[in-house]
A and B are shown apart, each in its own frame.
Chain A
Amino acid sequence: MSTLRIFNGRIIDPANGRDEKADLWIRDGIIIETPADGSKADSEIDAKGRIVAPGLIDIHVHFREPGQSHKETIGTGSQAAAAGGFTSVVCMPNTSPAADNAGTITLIREKAAASSCVNIFTTGAITKGLAGEELAPYNAMVGAGIVAITDDGHCVQNHEVMRRAVEYARMFGLVVLDHCQDYSLVGGGVMNEGEWSLRLGLPGWPRIGEEIIVMRNILLADLCDSPIHCQHISSGGSVRLIREARARGVKISGEVCPHHIALTDDRLQTFDSNYKMNPPLRTERDIEAIIGGIADGTLDILCSDHAPHAKYEKEVELDQAPFGILGLETEFGLFSDILVHKKKAIDMARLIELYTAKPAKLLSLDRGTLSVGAPGDVTLIDPDLEWVYDKEQSPSLSRNTPFHGTEMKGRAVQTIVAGKTVWSL
């Protein structure tokens, strides 16, 4: 038996509506009541000036194992997660081979058990090989432990296939996560279609390529009465569609990545592939709409889309470079800086809720809370710490980030998984 007491901190536990100065006790990896007998803990953490939050959850990461472990492994990815304050991550299934079967998912979970310092949750593919044609075996994958299905990186284009996927997933209580991209409209687009794509002569990725699939998903979620979650929303138009549908009670939700509110498409004028991600950076107008959507609750999940790529893969002609950037270590700081400190769109408690209670609820994870009996996953946060990101210190195997040298305010300073500190500043 081993006990941990975290004292002097401000507990913010949105799942229970708590925001108060109190001790937090963990015994054998589980949160317990503060002992009434005044007994001493085996170890203690002084959390003076810190927020004691449920361990943060990122429901959108790419850990590249199996198949592309030169970019990231589950082990190195988990260390990057811990360094960003995350105790749980949800891995996308676009590994090589794709996680579209129970065997691959079991392999990932075994790797995670052996090498990860944070909780790894897995998703399965919507369709076999992420090809958008035949449904993957959801029952078998649920048996192997998936928490959702998605073809992330790809998008099921055939609406009939998507409809059957949503209907069939409903039987297992699975949320369908969708990367919203209409292939015919987006084609070979590499950056936001607009003034800058015209200037630079780069193929445009129009907003409507996302919005039309968001709309499709709204119609399917409504028709099937089953939840669809739209990943990495980049367009202001998508926010409006989701807001209107949620007001009608449609089971639609959306998530936001920090780069989509931190950066705009004019960055591409340097042709630096660290500004190339899918969906692409857009404009101030989109940023305003997305922040408005976060502020009014239309978008209530935040995530990174952590997408590691080796330097030699990214250091090529822009249109030939792979999409995606690192994100786990910078996302909390960026959202804290922009949403809480600069724009004052939400407060710190709400930011924590969007990273804990909300994702846990969406995917029915037994996490994201400091309730007695819950796993002892805790993130200590310094809400006002001013810091600068140095990518060279990253535990990730990759360095593809546009945020090297970026100043931020607010940072996770200690990450505790099941009562054990896995990272601290």
Chain B
Amino acid sequence: MSGWTRKDLLGLDELSADELRIILDTAKAFKGVGERSLKKVPALRGHTMVNFFVEPSTRTRTSFELAAMRLSADVVNISATASSLQKGESLKDTALNLEALRADIIVLRHSSAGASRFLAERLKASIINAGDGAHEHPTQGLLDIFTMIEKRGSLEGAEVAIIGDILFSRVARSNIYALNKLGAKVTLVGPSTLVPKAFEKLGVKVAHRIDDILETADVVNLLRIQHERQRKEYFPGIGEYIKLFGLTKARAERLKPGCLIMHPGPINRGVEIDSDVADGDQSVILEQVTNGLAVRMAVLYLCAGGVGLPS
């Protein structure tokens, strides 16, 4: 399959179903590479990737770094505290400097929605969005979907419940956009303050009782409560949240036997998910992390101009 023409990956909202499939197919091929003893391919030899993380991250940054290394790219990591943004330099100027150093790919994590688009419109380098505010986290959405498809085949008609803090979640948005395009039926579950009814305009169902989805879901994707993004209280406390929306053992037992339990991490054991449930048979949380590597290799490869599938 060919047809990838974008230099950037900014979000899943703007991708077609075909473009999503190109990435997923490419990721599948790269997953095979990851299972060999020699895990490195020369696809991006001579390319420079800058991991530009203005907002903290361990998992995503490491995953991109490893993905780039496996493609034989040279990798530089920049964090907010180490960058000149601290000295008052604008995002645009910092990025122009990175480009002047001939970075081919810039992976940007930023607290402002639209930050990656802002760079993509101004730089020749490929911009990969590694999370922009509450807007999108496309590679997380892709790895979630890659995992769902790997485990259960087509998503056509699949019931996917996304549970938790949807309002502030870029992961939820990227999931919603892509799942809708691939034919899944999405239900958002959470407190009415964090899952406002207006989300229905995005083509999803909204529920405020976890009971509504337990027996019908094919996938439950649990999101962390993002304290750092909430400027005020959206619910009275963690205790009440667990009682209403936590995936407790009792609730997990009511899930269909084949229902996948997913979480983008970092997990808060005992809050959105019971500790044993997180480690249980239906949990694919760590497989998501492994798949993230393959998905990010695919994204880097495609945006850097790679064509066809790696052999």
Contacts and interface: CB of A to CB of B under 8 A. Distances in A.
A317 B232 CA distance: 23
A318 B231 contact: no
Interface in B115-129: 115, 117-118
B262 interface: no
Interface centre among A195, A312, A318 (most CB of B within 10 A): A318
Interface residues of A, number: 18
A402 interface: no
A301 B133 CA distance: 38
B293 to A, nearest CB: 25
B113 A198 contact: no
A381 B196 CA distance: 48
Contacts of A195: 198, 201-202
Contact of A200 (B110, B135, B196, B201): B135
A373 interface: no
A320 B198 contact: no
Contacts of B13: 199
A103 interface: no
Given A315-B92, A317-B91, A198 B112 contact: no
A143 interface: no
B170 to A, nearest CB: 6
B112 A199 contact: no
Contacts of A317: 91, 110, 112, 114-115, 118
B5 interface: no
Contact of A319 (B90, B133, B136, B202): B133
A199 B114 contact: no
Nearest to B54: A317
Interface in A243-262: none
Interface string A284-315: 00000000000000000000000000001001
A201 B117 contact: no
Interface centre among B13, B113, B168, B198 (most CB of A within 10 A): B113
Contacts of B231: 187-188
Interface residues of B, number: 27
B173 A319 contact: no
B90 A201 contact: no
A7 interface: no
Contacts of A187: 231-232
Contacts of B132: 201
A395 interface: no
A194 interface: yes
Interface in A195-238: 195, 198-202
A201 B198 contact: no
A188 B118 CA distance: 20
A389 interface: no
A271 interface: yes
Interface in B182-204: 196, 198-199, 201-202
Given A199-B13, A200-B135, A201-B135, A318 B198 contact: no
B69 interface: no
Contacts of B198: 194-195, 198
A315 B118 CA distance: 9
23 contacts: A187-B231, A188-B231, A195-B198, A195-B202, A198-B196, A200-B114, A201-B136, A201-B168, A202-B113, A202-B114, A202-B133, A202-B134, A270-B117, A271-B117, A315-B90, A316-B92, A316-B118, A317-B112, A317-B114, A317-B115, A318-B112, A319-B112, A319-B133
Q: Report the 8 A-B pairs with minimum CB-CB distance, sorted nearest first.
A: A271-B114, A201-B134, A201-B135, A317-B112, A195-B201, A201-B113, A319-B112, A318-B114
Interface of A: 187-188, 194-195, 198-202, 270-271, 312, 315-320
Given A194-B198, A195-B201, A316-B91, 8 more contacts: A187-B232, A198-B199, A198-B201, A316-B90, A317-B91, A318-B113, A319-B112, A319-B133
Interface of B: 13, 90-92, 110, 112-115, 117-118, 132-136, 167-168, 170, 173, 196, 198-199, 201-202, 231-232
